[in-house]
Structure 1
Amino acid sequence: MPPQPPDVPAEKYGKDGKINPGFIASHEKFVGIAKEGKAQLVFLGDSITAGWAGNGKEVWAKAFAAYTPANFGIGGDRTQHVLWRIQNGELDVIKPKAAVLMIGTNNVGADTPEGIAKGVTVIVETIRAKQPQAKILLLAVFPRGDKPTGKLGASNDKLKQVNAIISKLDDGKNIFYLDIGGKFPQPEGALTKEIMPDFLHHSAAGCQIWADAIGPKLAELMK
């Protein structure tokens, strides 16, 4: 089944044309967490966000545990999948003080920068509609790849265009855009395996850079 446009909510389908069972299982788990009504900080995204439960587990506990956080990241998600999830229970019942959103890297192969940005915009609008009290920390999509001409790195120009568009969503009141991508490259200007072992997902060291970069703003939003 061909993917939906990036701004149209959609469940995730496998190559067999059936709904991805892992996607549904994770979604149902997240809905259950939402129904508990305890989470005060919600992270929404794809496998990069989901990585907090893996390589970033210890950093997560030290940096965010005091905020009663919930990690709603699912590997392979595109904007349309996150949109479907938050329209189907993941932001119901709970009343978080803040939501951290970073999504779009999995859209780059099929969608235009404008389309991806539109998808991000609709997600932000949906979060605002469902959780008007929550401040949104909208992160620029992170850089990827070890070489500009490589399979991953070739997408960075498109991601820069996406980020330029979504940065305009920052209103200084409820939506706050933050580009921390420049924190990840090492002094020579390249991403390294020490920070991103596969040049897409973060090591514990990469997660520490991430946590340190958003920490001050989160502390402000979580007051």
Structure 2
Amino acid sequence: MKKIRYCKITILILAGWAILSAIGFLGKDTIYSRYTVDPVKTPYFVLVMQGIHDGIYPWSSDHESLWDKWEHLAELRRDEEQISATESTEPAVAGTESMAETEAVAETEQEEVRSFHPVDAGYFSDAVFIGDSRTVGLHDYGGLDDSTFYATVGMNVYNLWTEKFCEVDGEKVTLEEALKAKKYGKIYFQIGINEMGRGTLDGFMTAYEDSVEKFRELQPDAVIFVQGIMKVAKEKSDKDPIFNNVGIEQRNERIAALADGKNIFYLDMNEVVCDEEGNLKSSLTFDDIHLYGSKYGIWVDYLKENGI
């Protein structure tokens, strides 16, 4: 009895398979024309099963399947997009932006802008300080022992890339060679006092901007801090036609304009070392230009309050 029962089930399965295959074969060029099937690898009854899954039934007279409906809706959407594009042609030609586009750009720019915040000494472990004798003093008395310093007395922006004043593995190399030898997270640049009285303000800024751009090329992932030129004491500023605070302020205004709030930031330690009149406090300097060794902590504390 079991054999007869199994035989009937097998016959029913084969008959059903044959019927579905016949339906699939007969409808392959009509109702199932959108489907592709390889008769060598896949039998035609698969077409019927795929059709049923998509809402196409063998007895459907209008052949209106879900596929047809989806395609119809897609055509309607394309038509609506074309109409919208046509309606917005005139303002696009005029060069205006939609409110949504303007807001999107504004939000993106706002997200990219970064702000200052307090940091600890460890923040400077991947920093390199580049500059003249004032940066040398920061190295000698600032306590930033984990930082790298490429600075020398008398350095100026015109000789910055030609002199071999950077020590790497016991050898004196150029600044470019030094910056290629190691990756840094921050670059602190402070220079400009030695260039006063030499050339023009525009010439100084051209060389300064070229240096900042070169920092970007050599250290593309580093945050660049351009530091204002530290001012001099009142006694020197009032008497010296070259090294005076009026000239320093002119340069600092131009340096500050380089900051973009994203990759380049302006820092001005004059905020903490100058008096109400904008002159370097006489109590902080031994020669009206450089800080006492014991006073470099003021500069370091200012840097710690302004990390990115």
Instruction: Return the TM-score normalized by structure 2.
Output: 0.52
Q: For 1:116, which of 182, 204, 220 is the aligned residue?
A: 204
2: CA distance between counterparts of 1:165 and 1:53? 26
Counterpart check, 1:69 vs 2:158: no
Contact 1:145–1:152, Cα closer than 8 Å, also in 2: no
Counterpart check, 1:163 vs 2:279: no
2: CA distance between counterparts of 1:213 and 1:181? 10
Instruction: Return the TM-score normalized by structure 1.
Output: 0.70
In the alignment, what sits opposite 1:78?
A: 156
1: CA distance between counterparts of 2:279 and 2:178? 36
1: CA distance between counterparts of 2:131 and 2:299? 14
Cα distance, 1:123 vs. partner?
0.9
Q: For 1:173, which of 250, 254, 262 is the aligned residue?
A: 262
Report the CA distance shift for 1:75/1:101 in structure 2 as closer, same or farther (over 3 A).
Answer: same
Per-residue CA distance 1:89-148 (angstroms, 9 max, x = gap): 121121010010011110002122222222211110000000001101110111013323
Aligned length: 173
In the alignment, what sits opposite 1:11?
A: none
Report the CA distance shift for 1:201/1:154 in structure 2 as closer, same or farther (over 3 A).
Answer: closer
Cα distance, 1:204 vs. partner?
3.0
Q: For 1:40, which of 116, 126, 135 is the aligned residue?
A: 126
Cα distance, 1:52 vs. partner?
2.2
Counterpart check, 1:206 vs 2:206: no
2: CA distance between counterparts of 1:100 and 1:80? 18
In the alignment, what sits opposite 1:140?
A: 228
User: Which deviates further from its counterpart, 157-166 or 98-107?
Assistant: 157-166
Aligned residue for 2:284, secondary structure, equals: coil
Which segments of 5 or more consecutive residues in structure 2 lack a partner in the other structure?
A: 1-124, 164-173
Whose Rg is larger? 2
Q: Map 1:5-24; keep pairs closer than 5 Å.
A: none
In the alignment, what sits opposite 2:95?
A: none
Report the CA distance shift for 1:161/1:189 in structure 2 as closer, same or farther (over 3 A).
Answer: closer
Sequence identity (%): 26
Report the CA distance shift for 1:182/1:152 in structure 2 as closer, same or farther (over 3 A).
Answer: farther
Q: For 1:184, which of 267, 270, 273 is the aligned residue?
A: 273
Contact 2:186–2:222, Cα closer than 8 Å, also in 1: yes
Which segments of 5 or more consecutive residues in structure 1 lack a partner in the other structure?
A: 1-38
1: CA distance between counterparts of 2:277 and 2:192? 26
Aligned residue for 1:124, secondary structure, equals: helix
2: CA distance between counterparts of 1:41 and 1:117? 24
Task: Report 1 or 2 for greater relative contact order, CA contacts < 8 Å, sequence distance ≥ 6.
Answer: 1
Per-residue CA distance 1:26-78 (angstroms, 9 max, x = gap): xxxxxxxxxxxxx7210000001011243x1xxx32xx34xx30111110011
Contact 2:233–2:282, Cα closer than 8 Å, also in 1: no
In the alignment, what sits opposite 1:50?
A: 136
Aligned residue for 1:42, secondary structure, equals: strand
Q: CA RMSD in A?
A: 2.2
